[in-house]
């Protein structure tokens, strides 16, 4: 239980962080640091089992058991190494943040940082590839918000980071799907131990390449390297955590985790070694060009990650041990350097090394800590960075392939290490060397420097006592290579090739430092014709342009033109199927009945009428007739639930459509012969394709396996006998929840569209006019019958809807049908109101929508109590007089559906019913006289223009804003 406990507490800390910030301000960072350390201590109690006894801490709980996806957590040596970084470095960054930020409220920052830590923790302990992918994407989302919260200047870097890492996430998703389909399980430890990696090279190579792409985007490897320096727009604490312990280390973790399966794959070896060393050298050159300390450190991170990627590609036990040691060393010196750059920025107000000189005299402690960490990054003894660098050198010489490969890889590594030495000294000398120009500065408070001091001194102490890390690194090797490593870390291992490589690195690095002015002039130019950001922006712009052109095929304000292209494509598919001679099975039995011909004749007649009529209102009425006939089809075929749903939808559709038609001209506008011909041709093609498809695929097979399952198991599994309802709220409740959310958003969209177009303020189409001088022009007299019937029928419909809601699990009904019946009742009450002021239904309809979706979601969460999201819970409630009532949380889910649908219905009635001009007032250039006729304005003919006649506003509309 310790793993889900720690993860849950991290999430709880994230939720509580804004509250802590509200009460203690920026000092919440210290509280969060203590909590991180406490959680680390909880895991430290279990660490000996992992390190010395070769055990794992495991936990499993059902998540989606139907598809064998579980909450599987597993902590081994590799996971423990990264947990140390997540919690240990995270605690230092939290403490540092308590002094870095100015006094004020920073709750959003602490929330995102704690959530970031939770996502990273979940990522490194996940033993299910689906769970791993979820946490992988959560780190992407957290980094996006952390970068973007800095301000307007960080918006574009945050977006670039998001798009690039999401693209990598898609690659990881492809790998996840491939592994699950090929191996048959989603459990990561089982997948990595499967012999398919050795027996099926195509599967191994394909999956390995997808994993590499995902890791390269996360760990900023060429050609995706540019996002990490670009993301330096984030605040310094965010950069420190992102570079040292989170985000970029996620890619390194992924590569190390998949090493047991792919270490012997030649594609894996070549890509990791080649791209890793290329990135290391290229980024080091970029670092030497930079004057901003933070940007320089960002490129140094890219370079160091390149070294790590390359050594993982070697794949030997020694190489994976080197990866583990250097991961830890890099976290220590990089966290220190970023924190100290933040200190300099806060105290001096600049990060430009051309303006920062001689700070060693006024900030000696800061200078000393920076020097220790920079020397560790440069690989100078006796620091931990020296030990990890020598392990890297020794591993590069073991590169797989012909004998010449090892020395070539080693030589490339030495070049990268020399450049690393040069930019490390550039950092220290640029900020602290030279003459002191800012004599009024003082050393910052020791509390501000404490977190950086801890990580800096840790690199020194572990350099002298590197043997303390042997058990942990041995276990990392066992996890990532499958064989014991027997690693012995220390400052001295005798005279060996890696020692000579270190000597060459330091010697040449010193020469480069002494000739720094010459190197600066040499590198004071563009190394490539374009930057990574420019390439990204061009690709991004090209993708948007291409998408716009594709969308332009159907993007139009004319619905007919919008539908023409997909209809033609549909017809083309149908024609292709006919030309290829697709065979379809025969009808198992005669399926056509005499009644079908009558119903089809009604549908055809309604369709012809719609085509021929010029009246919008007549067209709507005919469309309603077609809908009613289709509903009758469903009733005849024995599907009362579906038929009732169709019938009620048609009623409400007609009501809402009439509210919209009031703002449009009475008649359709005239069109030319060419347009009519094209429309007729497209309609015939689409209709023909639909008819052929319906004939080919309907009624030619027995009930599907899924249908048989639902019919057979509905009663036993759900307690309900209404199979349609059990499918909606039990078996496929997740689909229903998604559709419910979309429906709720549709209600919000109604509000937004009407507000944006000014319709909620009473604006109407300039062409809209009314029936004047006809009975419909007198709504008070017209609606007497509706008001009389509505007084008793509307409440009956609402009560009936509640009855249908409760009985839906066993008889025709359910939340959606009940809401439609209730909506019809509300529509009747609305339309039969005695006046415009009395018509609106004064309910918080947005609240109804939100509460409906919220109730349905809450029911889903309760399902975890019985094994999974949205799994219904059942109980038998005793009744007075004997018997019992079978209660299921599916009923509560249905109540959520009911509330949301009612909310959307009331939204449409209230907002679409708003009318700009009450009857009897002026409308544009026309005004109504008491007799109901239209009086002409001076200079106008007295005869009203019949083209602009439309229906009178319904009573529920009069002039409300």
Does residue 922 have a pLDDT over 70? no
Does residue 203 have a pLDDT over 90? yes
Contacts of 797 (CB under 8 A, 6+ apart): 821, 822, 824, 825, 828
- Return the pLDDT at 378: 94
Output 318 or 672, whichever has higher pLDDT.
318
Contacts of 781 (CB under 8 A, 6+ apart): 775
Does residue 196 have a pLDDT over 90? yes
- Return the pLDDT at 191: 95
| Residue 392, token pair as written in the block | 């890297």
Long-range interactions of 727-733: CB distance < 8 A, separation 24+: 728/814, 728/816, 729/809, 729/814, 729/815, 729/872, 729/890, 729/893, 729/894, 729/897, 730/872, 730/888, 730/890, 733/860, 733/870, 733/872, 733/890, 733/893
β-bridge partners, 64: 69
Average pLDDT over residues 437-451: 86
List pLDDT tens digits, range 731-757: 888 898 988 899 888 888 877 877 766
Average pLDDT over residues 461-481: 92
The residue with tokens 């079908």 is 596
List pLDDT tens digits, range 652-703: 888 888 878 877 788 887 878 888 888 888 888 888 888 888 877 777 777 7
Average pLDDT over residues 62-78: 84
Does residue 15 have a pLDDT over 90? yes
Given pLDDT bands bounded at 50, 70 and 90, which one contains residue 269? very high
Average pLDDT over residues 179-194: 93
* Beta-strand relationship, 69-75 and 57-64: antiparallel
| Residue 545, token pair as written in the block | 């342009």
- Return the pLDDT at 929: 38
Q: Which among 216, 241, 220 is positioned nearest to 230, based on CA atoms?
A: 220
- Return the pLDDT at 216: 96
Given pLDDT bands bounded at 50, 70 and 90, which one contains residue 839? low
d(CA 314, CA 852) in angstroms, rounded, equals: 55
- Return the pLDDT at 525: 84
List pLDDT tens digits, range 375-404: 999 999 999 999 999 999 999 999 998 999
Of the given ranges (146-155, 764-773, 787-796, 847-856), which has the lowest mean pLDDT? 764-773
Q: Which among 225, 498, 268 is positioned nearest to 401, based on CA atoms?
A: 268
The residue with tokens 């998001």 is 162
| Residue 513, token pair as written in the block | 């430092």
β-bridge partners, 923: 926
Average pLDDT over residues 883-892: 82
CB 71 within 8 A of CB 4: yes
Given pLDDT bands bounded at 50, 70 and 90, which one contains residue 915? low
Other Cβ atoms less than 10 A from the Cβ of 642: the count is 18
Does residue 933 have a pLDDT over 50? no
DSSP state of 102: P
Output 841 or 949, whichever has higher pLDDT.
841
CB 118 within 8 A of CB 10: yes
DSSP state of 953: P
Average pLDDT over residues 91-105: 90
Given pLDDT bands bounded at 50, 70 and 90, which one contains residue 840? low
- Return the pLDDT at 931: 36
d(CA 421, CA 284) in angstroms, rounded, equals: 10
For the chain, the structural domain boundaries read: 1-262, 266-527, 593-670, 723-961
Q: Which among 876, 706, 887, 736 is positioned nearest to 819, based on CA atoms?
A: 736
Which helix or strand (DSSP H or E) is residue 274 part of? Answer: helix 266-289
Given pLDDT bands bounded at 50, 70 and 90, which one contains residue 930? very low
Average pLDDT over residues 851-866: 86
Of the given ranges (115-129, 330-344, 571-585, 759-773), which has the lowest mean pLDDT? 759-773
Does residue 430 have a pLDDT over 50? yes
Q: What's the pTM?
A: 0.75
Output 601 or 436, whichever has higher pLDDT.
601
List pLDDT tens digits, range 516-555: 888 888 888 888 888 888 898 899 899 999 988 888 777 7
Contacts of 854 (CB under 8 A, 6+ apart): 896
List pLDDT tens digits, range 765-817: 555 444 444 444 455 556 667 677 777 788 888 888 898 888 888 888 888 88
List pLDDT tens digits, range 162-184: 999 999 999 999 999 999 999 98
- Return the pLDDT at 945: 41
Of the given ranges (116-125, 200-209, 451-460, 678-687), which has the lowest mean pLDDT? 678-687
For every residue of 862-908, DSSP letters joined together read HGGGGTSTT---EEEEE-TTS-EEEEEHHHHHHHHHHHHHHHHHHHH
- Return the pLDDT at 952: 40
Q: Average pLDDT, whole number, for the chain?
A: 85
* Beta-strand relationship, 884-888 and 927-928: unpaired
- Return the pLDDT at 888: 84
């Amino acid at each position: 239980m310790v793993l889900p406990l720690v993860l849950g507490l991290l999430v709880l800390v994230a939720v509580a962080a804004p509250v802590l910030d509200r009460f203690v301000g920026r000092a919440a960072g210290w509280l969060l640091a203590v909590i991180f350390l406490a959680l680390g201590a909880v895991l430290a109690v279990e660490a000996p089992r992992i390190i010395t006894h070769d055990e794992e801490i495991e936990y499993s709980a059902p998540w989606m058991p139907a598809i064998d996806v579980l909450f599987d957590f597993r902590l081994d040596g590799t996971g423990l190494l990264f947990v140390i970084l997540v919690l240990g470095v995270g605690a230092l960054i939290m403490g540092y943040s308590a002094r870095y930020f100015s006094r004020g409220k920073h709750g959003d920052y602490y929330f995102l940082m704690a959530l970031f830590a939770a996502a990273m923790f979940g990522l490194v302990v996940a033993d299910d590839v689906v769970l791993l992918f979820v946490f992988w994407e959560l780190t992407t989302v957290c980094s996006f918000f952390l970068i973007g919260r800095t301000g307007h200047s960080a918006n574009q870097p945050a977006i670039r980071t998001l798009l690039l890492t999401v693209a990598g996430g898609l690659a990881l998703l492809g790998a996840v799907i491939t592994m699950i389909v090929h191996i048959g399980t989603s459990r990561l430890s089982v997948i990595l131990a499967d012999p398919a990696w050795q027996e099926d090279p195509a599967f191994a190579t394909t999956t390995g390449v997808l994993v590499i792409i995902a890791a390269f985007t996360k760990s900023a490897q060429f050609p995706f390297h540019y996002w990490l320096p670009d993301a330096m727009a984030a605040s310094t604490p965010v950069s420190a955590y992102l570079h040292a312990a989170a985000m970029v280390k996620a890619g390194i973790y992924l590569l190390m985790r998949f090493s047991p399966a792919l270490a012997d794959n030649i594609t894996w070896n070549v890509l990791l070694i080649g791209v890793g060393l290329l990135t290391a050298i290229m980024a080091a050159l970029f670092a030497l060009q930079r004057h901003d300390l933070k940007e320089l450190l960002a490129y140094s991170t890219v370079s160091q990650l390149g070294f790590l990627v390359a050594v993982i590609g070697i794949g030997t036990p020694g190489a994976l041990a080197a990866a583990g040691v250097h991961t830890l060393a890099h976290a220590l010196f990089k966290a220190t350097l970023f924190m100290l750059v933040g200190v300099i920025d806060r105290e001096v107000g600049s990060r430009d090394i051309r303006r920062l000189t001689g700070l060693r005299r006024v900030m000696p402690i800061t200078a000393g800590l920076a020097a220790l960490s920079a020397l560790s990054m440069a690989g100078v003894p006796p620091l931990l960075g020296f030990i990890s660098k020598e392990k890297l050198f020794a591993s590069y010489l073991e590169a797989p392939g012909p004998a010449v490969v090892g020395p070539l890889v080693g030589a490339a590594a030495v070049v990268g290490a020399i450049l690393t030495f040069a930019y490390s000294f550039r950092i220290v000398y640029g900020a602290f060397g030279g003459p002191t120009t800012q004599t009024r500065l003082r050393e910052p408070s020791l509390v501000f420097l404490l977190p950086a001091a801890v990580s800096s001194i840790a690199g020194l102490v572990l350099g002298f006592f590197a043997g303390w890390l042997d058990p942990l690194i041995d276990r990392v090797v066992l996890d990532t290579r499958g064989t014991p490593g027997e690693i012995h870390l220390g400052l001295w291992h005798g005279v060996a090739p890696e020692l000579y490589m270190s000597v060459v690195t330091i010697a040449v690095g010193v020469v480069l430092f002494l000739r720094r002015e010459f190197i600066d002039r040499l590198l004071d130019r563009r190394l490539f014709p374009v930057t990574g950001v420019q390439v990204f922006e061009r690709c991004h712009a090209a993708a948007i342009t291409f998408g716009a052109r594709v969308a332009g095929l159907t993007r139009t304000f004319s619905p007919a033109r919008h539908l023409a292209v997909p209809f033609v494509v549909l017809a083309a598919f149908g024609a292709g199927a006919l030309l290829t001679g697709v065979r379809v099975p025969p009808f198992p039995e005669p399926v056509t009945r005499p009644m079908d011909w009558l119903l089809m004749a009604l549908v055809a007649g309604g369709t012809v009428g719609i085509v021929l009529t010029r009246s919008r209102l007549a067209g709507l009425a005919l469309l309603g007739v077609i809908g009613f006939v289709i509903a009758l089809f469903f009733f005849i075929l024995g599907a009362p639930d579906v038929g009732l749903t169709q019938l009620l939808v048609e009623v409400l559709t007609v009501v809402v459509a009439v509210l919209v038609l009031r703002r449009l001209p009475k008649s359709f506008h005239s069109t030319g012969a060419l347009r009519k011909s094209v429309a007729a041709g497209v309609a015939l093609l689409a209709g023909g394709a639909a008819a052929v498809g319906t004939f080919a695929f309907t009624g030619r097979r027995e009930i599907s396996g899924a249908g048989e399952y639902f019919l057979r198991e509905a009663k036993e599994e759900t307690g309900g006998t209404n199979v349609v309802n059990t499918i909606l709220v039990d078996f496929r409740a997740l689909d229903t929840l998604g559709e419910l959310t979309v429906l709720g958003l549709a209600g919000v969209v109604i509000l937004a569209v009407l507000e944006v177009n000014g319709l909620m303020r009473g604006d109407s189409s300039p062409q809209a006019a009314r029936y004047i001088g006809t009975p419909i022009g007198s709504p008070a007299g017209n609606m007497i019958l509706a008001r009389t019937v509505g007084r008793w029928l509307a409440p009956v419909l609402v009560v009936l809807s509640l009855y249908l809601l409760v009985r839906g699990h066993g008889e025709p009904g359910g939340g959606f049908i009940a809401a439609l019946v209730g909506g019809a009742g509300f529509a009747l009450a609305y339309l039969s109101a005695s006046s415009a002021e009395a018509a609106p239904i004064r309910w918080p309809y947005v609240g109804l929508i939100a509460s409906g979706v919220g109730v349905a979601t809450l029911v889903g969460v309760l399902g975890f109590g019985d094994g999974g999201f949205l799994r219904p819970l059942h109980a038998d409630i005793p009744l007075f007089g004997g018997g019992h009532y079978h209660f299921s949380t599916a009923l509560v889910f249905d109540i959520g559906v009911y509330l949301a649908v009612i909310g959307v219905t009331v939204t449409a009635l209230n907002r679409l019913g708003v009318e700009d001009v009450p009857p009897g007032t002026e409308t544009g250039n026309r005004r109504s006289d008491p007799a109901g006729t239209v009086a002409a304005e001076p200079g106008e003919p007295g005869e009203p223009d019949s083209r602009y006649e439309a229906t009178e506003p319904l009573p529920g509309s009069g002039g409300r804003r």
